[in-house]
């Protein structure tokens, strides 16, 4: 288009980072493991029920129920009413419920009402926390818990498929004379 041949090679220009810290965050070797999955509950969204994530869950909206993931980030303005279970948890919004996490960080905008069970807890100035804090030596292993729940769910699904029960309607296998 515009008179140039489409067979010309493309030139890629890469900007070099200014500091070593920037290069760590922007450059990834091709042999690196795939990034963990990231899920987001967006602003203006309300989720009611149990949420289980295998990677990172960012909450910007509202959750009413339990939330389990490897890493959870509750953004400023977000609200969670229910229990949180994670290996790493950062709170900048409002949380009402029990927290079980290895590392818990309450940002300056955090408002937490409930108990926190943790290995490490950091609370920034101006964060609000009402409840009890208990350090636990045995850490939360969310990945193991997720795998156990997945296996139990698969087992339950298999059992329910094998023990199918009719809702009272006649069976397709029964002769018509038995169905009446």
pLDDT 10s digits, 4-36:
444 444 333 333 444 444 433 343 444 445 577
- Residue 6 has what pLDDT? 46
- pTM higher than the cut 0.85: no
Query: Residue 64: helix, strand or coil by DSSP?
Result: strand
- Residue 146 has what pLDDT? 57
- Residue 138 has what pLDDT? 78
Cβ contacts of 145 within 8 Å, gap of 6 or more: 68, 85
- Asked whether residue 114 carries a pLDDT value surpassing 90, the answer given is yes
> Residues of the chain with pLDDT > 70: what percent?
58
Please report the beta strands in the chain, taking only residues with DSSP state E, as ranges in sequence order.
38-41, 46-48, 51-52, 56-59, 62-64, 67-74, 79-81, 84-91, 94-96, 99-106, 111-113, 116-118, 120-123, 128-130, 133-135
């Amino acid at each position: 288009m515009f008179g140039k041949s489409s067979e010309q090679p493309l030139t890629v220009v890469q900007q070099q980072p200014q500091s070593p810290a920037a290069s760590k965050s922007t450059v990834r070797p091709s042999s690196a493991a795939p990034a963990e999955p990231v899920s987001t509950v967006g602003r203006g969204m309300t989720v009611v029920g149990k949420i289980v994530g295998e990677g990172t869950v960012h909450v910007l909206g509202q959750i009413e129920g339990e939330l389990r993931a490897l890493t959870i980030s509750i953004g400023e303005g977000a609200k969670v009413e229910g229990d949180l279970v994670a290996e790493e948890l950062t709170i900048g919004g409002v949380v009402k419920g029990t927290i079980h996490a290895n590392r818990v960080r309450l940002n300056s905008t955090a408002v937490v009402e409930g108990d926190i069970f943790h290995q490490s807890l950091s609370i920034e100035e101006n964060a609000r926390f009402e409840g009890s804090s208990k350090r636990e030596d045995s850490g939360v292993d969310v990945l193991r818990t997720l795998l156990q729940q997945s296996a139990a769910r698969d087992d339950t699904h298999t059992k329910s498929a094998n023990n199918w029960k009719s809702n009272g309607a006649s069976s397709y296998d029964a002769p018509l004379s038995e169905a009446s």
